[in-house]
Structure 1
Amino acid sequence: MALHYKIIPVTPFQQNCSLIWCSKTMQAAVVDPGGDVARIQAAIAAEGVTLSKILLTHGHLDHVGGSADLAKAAGVKIIGPQREDAFWIDALGEQCRMFGFPPVPLFQPDQWLEEGETVSVGEEVLEVIYTPGHTPGHIVFYSRSAQLALVGDVLFAGSIGRTDFPRGNHQQLIDSIRLKLWPLGRDVEFIPGHGPMSTLGEEIDSNPFVAGRAG
């Protein structure tokens, strides 16, 4: 497998920030750098990879709080999520106060992403899947070659994302999981925003919130 990954838990919420890289080029991306930037930088150095971009699944603080500092330090662009999450990113200051986090630098993504677009990491290609529900602009990054999905807070091992935040929508979330993720295939592994990894097949079989096929 040419796509490698390392999970770096960050923030008091233990959010799964992911370092992913192409083993052929050693070009890397960080997905959802929520905080603890020094820890993320140490992981990049330990793997000997070159950070080329930051990718965001959605705009919640524990997923984006370290984005501005990491982007500035590495001289890279921030890409994603889908533009409907702009209001969350614009409200970073308010999010910090709400959750008792120290202030973080504000930023705007250099590029919003839409369903069907792709993002390259070295020679590896990530497909962008639009998955609203937890937030209105949430996206998932999917590597077809590695059979790996980075799903943010859409789906967890045995659970699903919250929908009680502003502009969350429970039915949208269920539809995103069943109509967008299940068709990727049972063997696809996923890295959730929190907690252990799982496979889509395991969740189809046993997740109490979304078990069973679409329809």
Structure 2
Amino acid sequence: MSRPSQPPLRAVIVPVTPLRQNCTVVWCTATMKAAVVDPGGDIDRIRAAVAAQGVTVEKVLLTHGHIDHAGEAKPLADMLGVAIEGPHAADRWLLDTLAEDGAKYGIRGVPFVPDRWLVEGDTVTIGDLVLDVYETPGHTPGHVVFHHAPSKLALVGDVLFQGSVGRTDFARGNHPQLIASIVDKLWPMGAETAFIPGHGPASNFCHERATNMFVSDRALSA
């Protein structure tokens, strides 16, 4: 009997920091090459998850510059000898102040400049996988999301959550801009697209368009 084929992409969520941020280890099943998305802290926990899956990390990806997503990106990248890609350069000010922001939350923050800033239309690779990059400002000005269309999966950081949306009451947040990012960038990916948010459980766009009190079709047409 033949073994069932592996999906091209697999992912595991590793909650990190006291803010329970969803750091995600994403890998290509054909090559077992991986990326760590948003390593905000708890490096030992992240490395244990990587070891448990038997994958080799080839890069760090960032959706945005908030402390719980980016605080320990630099130490982890240095430890693994890999590059950091993302977010958009409009979040440079957040990466520059990670140490100060970390002190406010009791989280280690190490300032850095990524090896590659990302813009709309870029792609990032993980092994044989190619993910599309979309600019999704609103929660932060330089927020980006990653979409693997063949797997119908998006990594959306703090743009959208199950039943909610990203906060815009932080510095340089913009609520109308956030809603536009969801409607103009996420919804066109398709209702069947599943997403991993920066906090809380995964969901899919169909469910959110039907039930999310902030961005359901009914809420937006009211």
1:72-111 correspondence to structure 2 within 5 Å: 72-101=78-107, 103-111=108-116
Counterpart CA distance in 2 for 1:104 and 1:170 is: 26
1:1-215 correspondence to structure 2 within 5 Å: 1-101=7-107, 103-212=108-217
Instruction: Please report how far the alpha carbon of residue 202 of structure 1 lies from its aligned counterpart in structure 2 after TM superposition.
Output: 0.4
In terms of Rg, which structure is larger?
Answer: 2
Query: Which amino acid counterpart does residue 190 of structure 2 have in structure 1?
Result: G
Counterpart CA distance in 1 for 2:51 and 2:124 is: 23
Counterpart CA distance in 1 for 2:67 and 2:129 is: 28
Query: Which amino acid counterpart does residue 131 of structure 2 have in structure 1?
Result: L
Deviations 1:11-32 (Å, cap 9, x if unpaired)? 0011000000000000000000
Aligned 8 A contact 2:161 2:199 in 1:
yes
Deviations 1:10-55 (Å, cap 9, x if unpaired)? 0001100000000000000000001000010011111111000000
Aligned residue for 1:142, secondary structure, equals strand
Aligned 8 A contact 2:67 2:109 in 1:
no
Q: TM-score, normalised by structure 2?
A: 0.94
Query: Which amino acid counterpart does residue 19 of structure 2 have in structure 1?
Result: F
Question: Where does the alignment leave 5 or more consecutive residues of structure 1 unmatched?
Answer: none
Aligned residue for 1:145, secondary structure, equals helix
Q: TM-score, normalised by structure 1?
A: 0.97
